[in-house]
Chains A and B, each alone.
Chain A
Amino acid sequence: MQKTFTCLICPVGCEITVTATGDTIERIEGHECKRGIPYVTDEFLNPKRILTTTVKADGAQFPVVSVRSDKPLPKNKIFDCMEVLKKTRIKAPITMGQVVVEDILDTGVNIIVTRC
């Protein structure tokens, strides 16, 4: 199968196509430099994203407080993490960087508060 990615390493944004069978990459083409290869390899085999959202905050200045994953999460776990966070509540006082959910869904990633 073939999948095309827009490389984000530099502003050029090469359209790089990966040809693979299952998890075995057979060919990578369309990149103007070497740096595109590890980028699309990661994107193809194990895409990860930082998740940013809000959680309910009781007794705080605003009803919700912004949070983020402290490391990128596997892309296919994002919506499941959102389900967890939609039900998560924290109480004031709230500090920057405080851990809201530790090791969310066994990913080794923590969800932390991003505002004071």
Chain B
Amino acid sequence: MFETNYDVVIIGAGPAGLAAAIEAKKVGTKKVLLVERDHALGGILQQCIHPGFGLHIFDEELTGPEYAYRFIEQIKPLGIDVLLNTMVLDIHSDDKRLYAVNRERGVCNIGYKSLVLAMGCRERTRGAIAIPGTRPAGIFTAGTAQRYINMQGYMVGREFVILGSGDIGMIMARRLTLEGAKVKAVVEIMPYLTGLTRNKVQCLDDFNIPLYLKHTITDIKGKDRVEKVTVSQVDDNFNPIKGTEWEIDCDTLLLSVGLIPENELSKKAQVKLSPITLGPIVSQRMETNVKNIFACGNVLHVNDLADNVTVESQIAGMYAGLNALGKEYKPRKITECIPGEGIRYIVPQKIEVTDEVQDISLYFRVKEPARNVTLEISSKGETIARARRQKINPGEMEKMKIKADAIDKLGDELIVSVAEVKS
């Protein structure tokens, strides 16, 4: 067995893991290791060949692989070690050791002082949303299709229907059309677009692909290969309305119906998960309930922008590094972050008020789209921070800062809420 020890070990070398590793090194950690199951660095960015990355971090519009490269090219020069084609199978958080396997070394028993969970997420499946019908070939989640097309060089079908108006679904609509396939419809159960408007324009409108809001797929037909799907309108409770169905002939159904943080390993490490985000509960230092274990990126909560993942992961990497260097934080008080009116969830879920005085960023999602609103962070009845927004949308994560000098004002709870602007 291959046994080794590191100061900071990061599971996953996608945008989260890469940013965390670099930051850990920058605060002075000596031995940093990235453990990645794929044969190259970059994680999901490798297959996101479309532009839209880096607008905030680099002030440039980059494609996924280009964005990843900005970080990948720093790995070797910084002396960060990498294990590729290596799958972590177990974490013993009591011993601070993890077990991974790869072809070259067999079982790797790796010790850590700090562990950063950056495993990303998986896609929600047809089975998880129980679409009735047969089980033929030709049903793919969008990410799986994207991997076949953009990395393995295969085409997965000729005539498509896409369920879900999230960004992945829309981006694949464009990709498939450029590859010569026919995308006959994008079907969305919500009454609003769940992805970015920009993608609707450049991926659907550009190619005259119809979008059906407040609709869903209620049947799949085909014995060996998909032959048709049934589309139905839904009511306000998302139940199909009888009599509104029609069939679309197609040979492929692409599903873009949500991402789920991949936390099976986290559970093995005894990390406590939030039932809303399905990711670990963390403090503003991105540390989980298990000491020495940090989390960032999609494994923590599903993000829309890789740029936000980078910022959040830099925080995780920094504190993971400082933790490995022996820095201890003694919280004077713990402030629970409570989602108030109109807010679905907040990350971090708690703030540990210590001697450290620094701005703290809160990331959160709203429950419903709205225009002309005020976002407010308050505690003990007092306003801590406030911001105006022309437009908010559940599909676009919001970020607000608690300024360093406002930390004193925090009580046992802080509440983030949305309020309509009174005209």
Chain A residues proximal to chain B, CB less than 8 Å: 5-6, 8, 10-13, 49-54, 56, 61-64, 66-68, 75, 78-79, 82, 96, 114-116
Contact = CB atoms under 8 A, between A and B. Distances in A.
A12 B64 CA distance: 26
A51 B151 CA distance: 17
A71 B390 CA distance: 31
B49 A114 contact: yes
Contacts, number: 80
A90 to B, nearest CB: 13
A64 B150 CA distance: 7
Given A50-B51, A64-B153, A66-B63, A116 B201 contact: no
A51 B50 CA distance: 8
A64 B175 CA distance: 15
Contacts of B64: 66
Nearest to B150: A54
A110 B405 CA distance: 50
A61 B200 CA distance: 33
Interface residues of B, number: 36
Given A5-B201, A53-B178, A66-B64, 5 more contacts: A11-B197, A61-B40, A68-B66, A114-B65, A115-B46
B65 A10 contact: no
Interface of B: 39-40, 42, 46, 49-51, 61, 63-66, 69, 72-73, 149-153, 175, 178-180, 197-198, 200-202, 205-206, 371, 390-391, 393, 396
7 contacts: A6-B201, A11-B396, A12-B371, A53-B49, A54-B150, A66-B49, A82-B180
B390 A12 contact: yes
Nearest to A81: B178
Given A6-B205, A62-B151, A62-B152, A11 B49 contact: no
B120 to A, nearest CB: 19
B206 A114 contact: no
A49 B50 CA distance: 11
Contact of A61 (B39, B206, B371): B39
A91 B189 CA distance: 45
Nearest to B151: A62
A75 B198 CA distance: 15
Contacts of B206: 49, 75
A96 B197 contact: no
Contacts of A96: 66, 69
A62 B153 CA distance: 8
Nearest to A79: B178
A6 B64 CA distance: 25
Nearest to A85: B178
A116 B72 contact: yes
A78 to B, nearest CB: 7
Contact of A66 (B40, B150, B197, B393): B150
B65 to A, nearest CB: 4
Given A64-B150, A96-B69, A115-B69, A52 B63 contact: yes
